[in-house]
């Protein structure tokens, strides 16, 4: 990707997370960057990274009578809730790396739109996302990728792919997190994905697919999912999704991707055999391998092992580990064998976490029982969807604490964002809603309306005050009867 030489002093980048799911909320928040007292916007560019569903919005201010007009945009961006990056504040080497390397990780781009709104709407159109009704007519933009060639009608779907060569990378949105998956089959009607954290039948799920420079984000409904019995008897988990007919632009991008896959000779390799199902979490683990001590995050767990995400280089075939529990008591201590290595280059190429897959080879009898109980709790949480609506300073911590132990979590820092998602009706009602007291203090009427709306949909709500995140997690466990 080629980027223009930027004028550092009047350009700021805003980070827009969960871009495809919260496009409407991002566009609404951008209104604070328009009109007085905001500096006039000269132009804006947008960049998208599909594996993390993150967009970068680069806004350039027109020269004015301020010493540095972009400072006004940065301040308004903070009020809108957007993290920002100011290239002028970086050291020369870091600034070069940002423009020459980091931006290359965002392959889909739109340049020189007349406003941030126009840039995001144009980006959404390129990704096949159903954008809200435009309030401004965008002027033509310059897209970095070449326009797609004319395609056959989407109504004539290509045949399913036959395993032969390269591979298609896939992720699906679970709450606020994009989860890796293996494509077992895909065509214009839908896909069969092998995954550790399986959504429920009927869930609306966005799926991001990538092959080289081609990418597509397509939404659909889960029509089949691995049952608990199948997971435990077969050791493999996954789901089938039927793509929505209304996703016309997304399906056109998918069609181009499938044509490239067929031309290159793709390989849809089956997932490696598993002796037991895996369950998603993000849990701290301490490691000792030879003379190396390291900390890691367990990203999945099963009866026989874990995947440990760490950048530390572990030498040898075996390691000792300490796994703290989500309840009182000493950590579990055991020994494991390194069964799989995901080095940095593979992790970058495939959008995975760098680390090690390990097989547990030694646990004491008492620790075996505690490990089994921990695994049961994680597996039960994995089937529960929790919405967190909290003040900005509390939302990230509460969401992280619940996601760490396996819950599917969708977090919101404004009542109207959560209300809009609920009113949309595309997702099932959550199993529980955590409403934080700071949200009620900031938006009393909107927060009370939100609680009433969720309860009308059959979702139970609990209010959290200034309790620690671990205390809130325990309350959620009790409310959902996770007690193993």
Same domain as 400, residue 364: no
3-state SS, residue 164: coil
| Mean predicted confidence (pLDDT) in 222-247 | 80
Report the pLDDT value the prediction gives residue 273, as an integer from 0 to 100: 65
Report the pLDDT value the prediction gives residue 350, as an integer from 0 to 100: 77
Report the pLDDT value the prediction gives residue 229, as an integer from 0 to 100: 65
CA distance 333 to 367: 7
Which strand (E) or helix (H) includes residue 251? helix 248-264
Report the pLDDT value the prediction gives residue 136, as an integer from 0 to 100: 36
Summarised one tens digit per residue, pLDDT across range 21-41 is 778 777 877 765 554 444 567
Report the pLDDT value the prediction gives residue 86, as an integer from 0 to 100: 74
CA distance 268 to 327: 41
Determine, yes or no, domain membership for 274.
no
Question: Is the pLDDT confidence value at 2 over 60?
Answer: no
CB atoms within 10 A of CB 139: 12
Report the pLDDT value the prediction gives residue 452, as an integer from 0 to 100: 94
Report the pLDDT value the prediction gives residue 414, as an integer from 0 to 100: 85
Same domain as 288, residue 248: no
Pick the more confident residue, 230 or 281.
Answer: 281
Pick the more confident residue, 78 or 48.
Answer: 48
Question: Is the pLDDT confidence value at 445 over 70?
Answer: yes
Determine, yes or no, domain membership for 269.
no
* CA neighbours closer than 13 Å in the CB half-sphere of residue 424: 17
Summarised one tens digit per residue, pLDDT across range 155-194 is 233 333 333 447 888 999 898 888 889 899 999 999 999 9
Report the pLDDT value the prediction gives residue 432, as an integer from 0 to 100: 95
| Mean predicted confidence (pLDDT) in 270-282 | 78
Four-point Cα dihedral 32, 423, 209, 144, nearest 10: -30
Tokens 């089949």 locate to: 224
CA distance 365 to 343: 33
- Tell me the pairing of strands 214-225 and 204-211: antiparallel
User: What is each CA distance from 203 to 93, 175, 241, 243, 287, in whole angstroms?
Assistant: 45, 11, 9, 12, 37
Report the pLDDT value the prediction gives residue 177, as an integer from 0 to 100: 83
Residue 435: partners with Cβ closer than 8 Å, 6 or more residues away: 389, 390, 447, 450, 451, 461, 462, 463, 464
Question: Is the pLDDT confidence value at 336 over 70?
Answer: yes
Query: Which of 337, 356, 374 finishes a domain?
Result: 374
Provide the domain count of the chain.
4
Same domain as 311, residue 245: no
Q: Global pTM?
A: 0.66
Looking up residue 208, the CATH number of its domain turns out to be: 2.40.10.220
Report the pLDDT value the prediction gives residue 159, as an integer from 0 to 100: 37
| Mean predicted confidence (pLDDT) in 447-473 | 91
Same domain as 13, residue 97: yes
Same domain as 130, residue 71: yes
Determine, yes or no, domain membership for 147.
no
Report the pLDDT value the prediction gives residue 66, as an integer from 0 to 100: 46
Same domain as 186, residue 252: yes
Same domain as 336, residue 231: no
Which strand (E) or helix (H) includes residue 461? strand 460-464
Summarised one tens digit per residue, pLDDT across range 361-419 is 999 888 999 999 999 999 999 989 999 999 888 888 899 899 999 999 988 888 888 88
Determine, yes or no, domain membership for 146.
no
Report the pLDDT value the prediction gives residue 135, as an integer from 0 to 100: 37
Summarised one tens digit per residue, pLDDT across range 284-322 is 999 998 888 899 999 999 999 999 999 889 988 999 999
Determine, yes or no, domain membership for 434.
yes
Query: Which of 111, 136, 161 finishes a domain?
Result: 136
Which one, of 266, 274, 295, lies nearest residue 196 by Cα?
A: 274
Same domain as 369, residue 394: no
Question: Is the pLDDT confidence value at 67 over 80?
Answer: no
Query: Which of 136, 161, 193 finishes a domain?
Result: 136
Determine, yes or no, domain membership for 144.
no
pLDDT-derived band at 151 (thresholds 50, 70, 90) equals very low
Same domain as 183, residue 257: yes
**Domain with 293 in it:** 279-374
Report the pLDDT value the prediction gives residue 408, as an integer from 0 to 100: 93
3-state helix, strand, coil in the chain (%, to 5): 30, 30, 35
Looking up residue 464, the CATH number of its domain turns out to be: 3.40.50.2300
Which one, of 461, 392, 374, 453, lies nearest residue 418 by Cα?
A: 453
Same domain as 433, residue 367: no
pLDDT-derived band at 43 (thresholds 50, 70, 90) equals confident
Report the pLDDT value the prediction gives residue 163, as an integer from 0 to 100: 38
Question: Is the pLDDT confidence value at 248 over 80?
Answer: no
Alpha helices by DSSP H, listed for 81-181, are 92-100, 116-127
Averaged confidence pLDDT in the chain: 80
Phi/psi for 438 (5° steps) reads -65, -30
Same domain as 13, residue 130: yes
Determine, yes or no, domain membership for 457.
yes
Contact 107, 215 (CB under 8 A): yes
Question: Is the pLDDT confidence value at 435 over 90?
Answer: yes
Summarised one tens digit per residue, pLDDT across range 105-140 is 788 888 888 888 888 888 888 787 765 543 333 333
Determine, yes or no, domain membership for 81.
yes
Same domain as 442, residue 354: no
For the chain, what percent of residues have pLDDT higher than 70? 79
Report the pLDDT value the prediction gives residue 41, as an integer from 0 to 100: 72
């Amino acid at each position: 990707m080629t980027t223009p030489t930027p004028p550092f002093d009047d350009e700021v980048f805003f980070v827009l997370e969960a871009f495809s799911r919260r496009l409407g909320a991002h566009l609404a928040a951008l209104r604070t960057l328009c009109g007085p007292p905001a500096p006039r916007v000269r132009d804006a560019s947008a960049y998208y990274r599909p594996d993390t569903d993150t967009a970068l919005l680069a806004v350039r201010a027109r020269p004015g009578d301020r010493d540095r007009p972009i400072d006004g945009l940065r301040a308004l961006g903070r009020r809108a809730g957007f993290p920002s990056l100011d290239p002028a504040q970086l050291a020369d080497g870091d600034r070069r790396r940002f423009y020459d390397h980091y931006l290359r990780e965002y392959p889909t781009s739109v340049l020189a739109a007349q406003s941030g709104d126009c840039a995001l709407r144009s980006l959404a159109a390129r990704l096949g996302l159903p954008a809200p009704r435009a309030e401004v007519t965008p002027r033509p933009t310059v897209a970095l990728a070449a326009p797609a060639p004319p395609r056959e009608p989407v109504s004539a779907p290509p045949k399913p792919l036959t395993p032969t060569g390269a591979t298609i990378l896939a992720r699906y949105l679970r709450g606020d997190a994009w989860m890796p998956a293996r494509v077992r089959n895909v065509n214009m009607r839908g896909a069969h994905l092998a995954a550790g954290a399986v959504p429920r039948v009927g869930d609306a799920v966005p799926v991001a697919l990538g092959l080289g420079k081609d990418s597509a984000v397509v939404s659909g409904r889960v029509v089949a999912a691995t049952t608990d019995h199948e997971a435990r008897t077969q050791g493999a988990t996954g789901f089938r999704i039927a793509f929505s007919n209304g996703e016309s632009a997304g399906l056109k991008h998918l069609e181009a991707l499938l044509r490239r896959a067929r031309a290159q000779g793709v390989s849809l390799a089956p997932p490696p055999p598993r002796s037991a199902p895996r369950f998603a979490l993000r849990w701290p683990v301490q490691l000792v391998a030879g003379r190396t001590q390291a900390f890691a995050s367990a990203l999945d767990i099963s009866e026989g092992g874990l995947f440990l995400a760490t950048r530390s280089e572990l030498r040898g075939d075996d390691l000792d580990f300490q796994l703290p529990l989500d309840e009182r008591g000493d950590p579990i201590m055991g020994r494991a064998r390194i069964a799989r290595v995901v080095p940095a280059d593979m992790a970058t190429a495939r959008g995975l976490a760098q680390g090690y897959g390990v097989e547990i080879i030694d646990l004491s009898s008492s620790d075996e029982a505690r490990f089994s109980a921990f695994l049961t709790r994680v597996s039960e949480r994995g089937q529960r969807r929790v919405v967190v609506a909290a003040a900005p300073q509390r939302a990230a911590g509460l969401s992280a604490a619940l996601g760490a132990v396996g819950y599917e979590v969708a977090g919101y820092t404004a009542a109207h964002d959560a209300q809009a998602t609920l009113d949309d009706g595309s997702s099932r009602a959550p199993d529980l809603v955590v409403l934080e007291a700071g949200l009620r203090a900031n938006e009393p009427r909107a927060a009370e309306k939100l609680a009433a709306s969720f309860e009308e949909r059959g979702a139970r709500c609990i209010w959290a005050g200034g309790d620690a995140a671990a205390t809130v997690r325990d309350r959620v466990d009790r409310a959902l009867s996770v007690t193993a």
